[in-house]
Amino acid sequence: MISVPGRRVRAALRLFGGVGLLCALGVADAQPEQAQIDELRKSIDIFSGVLREALGLNNRAGIFSPLNGSVQGMYLVDQGVVLELVTPLSSTRPFYGLQSLNSSLQELSGQLSSMAASQTFRLQRLDLSGSDTSTIAPSDSAQQPYREILERLATIDFSAEVEGSLRNAAETARSLSLVGHIDQAQYDELMREMSQLREQMSERALAFQALRNRISTESAGAPAPDASATARWQQEIDELLRAVEPLRETAAARAQALREQSEQSRLAREEQWQRDLVTFEDRLFAVVCDYSAALRALPEGEHLTLVLKGLGEETDVRREDRIHVLQNADMQRCLLEDMNAAQLQKSASTYSF
């Protein structure tokens, strides 16, 4: 029997009515009647409203903007009240490489494909099957040195590697822009750099194409191999490859630097998000501790289950919910100031599912 109600109890008596609270401290029937179900529904509605208001879930960014979050509740016989909370934390959580970013990256990939199609020129493969009579016939062994040069040119396709590096760099820059790690000016500068590198790649590809066409023309119909000509052509190919190497290295380095920047951004945002989660849960349990009298109709021995949507562990395919299960008796102890909010949180069974 409680002789001197504590501060929270006195506040709850004023807020919810003394009779209901005292009944909550008693023993409820094992099988609730319809009247009890109705009372539980009212209790859930009241407590949900308290949570929404105290946690700022009723706030809007603008008049026509959606609410920051929501609280939906239900009652399970012999188990207790289950509340699902949708919070702003579920939308601000870093989600790199998972489905929430896929739509943006798919849109970007489409844009990059169009850019690549208009700004890059791949070397066309030379048909060495012998069906093309304008090139060297495969049966003419005297033309073998020319064939080897043309085959070497036909196997050079540096544009795919460079284009892949540039595409990865652009996608990473876009993701950094989406999360606010780089501003619009920085993003525009990176896109200009990517465009310049693509133009340089196109120039190198055209140079290789022109060299191949010239070698094919000069070697066609030649009576015998010309050692000086083949040496000159090999030298020109080597010079073009050396000119390509800085471009290849620059594109790869830019892609790697942006990946590292993206990883640093992800870690920083994840750390901040974890701090925000701790702050939110501290506030949540403080509200539960102070206002659990709203759940006066919850039978003794049952539980309050808080399901924080999308705030649990993260897997490769989904975000799990973070779940806290509180015993009614512990909530009453906190209400009576026999424990504080931090102790109430520690007493909860917490897991991800």
Q: What is the pLDDT of residues 303-312, one digit of tens each?
A: 999 999 999 9
Measured CA to CA in angstroms, residue 333 lies from 12, 16, 235, 338 at distances of 14, 18, 87, 5
Which residues on neighbouring strands pair with residue 80, listed in sequence order? 76, 303
Which of 20-24, 74-78, 153-157 has the weakest average pLDDT?
Answer: 20-24
The CA-CA-CA angle for residues 85, 72, 15, to 5°, reads 95
| Tokens encoding 14 | 């004023």
The answer to which of 34-48, 111-125, 130-144 has the lowest mean pLDDT is: 111-125
Least confident interval from 170-179, 274-283, 305-314: 170-179
| CA pair distance 262, 57, nearest whole angstrom | 30
- Residue at 69: amino acid letter: G
Helix (H) or strand (E) holding 320: none
Confidence band, pLDDT 50/70/90 cuts, at residue 23: very low
pLDDT band with cut points at 50, 70 and 90 for residue 64: low
Q: At what angle do helices 158-178 and 184-219 cross, to 10 degrees?
A: 170
What integer pLDDT is reported at residue 129 of this predicted model?
Answer: 38
Tokens of 213: 């066409």
Q: State the DSSP H helix or E strand holding residue 116, giving kind and residue range, or none if neither.
A: helix 99-119
Residue 136 identity (one-letter amino acid): I
Longest Cα pair distance anywhere in the chain, in angstroms?
117
CA atoms within 13 A on the CB side of 238: 6
Q: What's this model's pTM, rounded to 2 decimal places?
A: 0.62
Q: Which two tokens stand for residue 258?
A: 């942006």
| Residue 297 burial (CB count, 10 A) | 23
Share of the chain above pLDDT 70, in %: 74
What is the per-residue pLDDT across 131-176, written as a single tens digit (0 to 9) for each? 343 444 444 555 677 777 777 777 777 777 888 888 888 888 988 8
Indicate the residue type of 345.
Answer: Q
Backbone angles phi, psi at 74, to 5 degrees: -150, 165
**According to DSSP H, which parts of 179-322 are helical?**
184-219, 227-291
- For range 209-226, the mean pLDDT: 75
Q: Where are the alpha helices (DSSP H) in 17-98?
A: 18-24, 34-54, 89-92
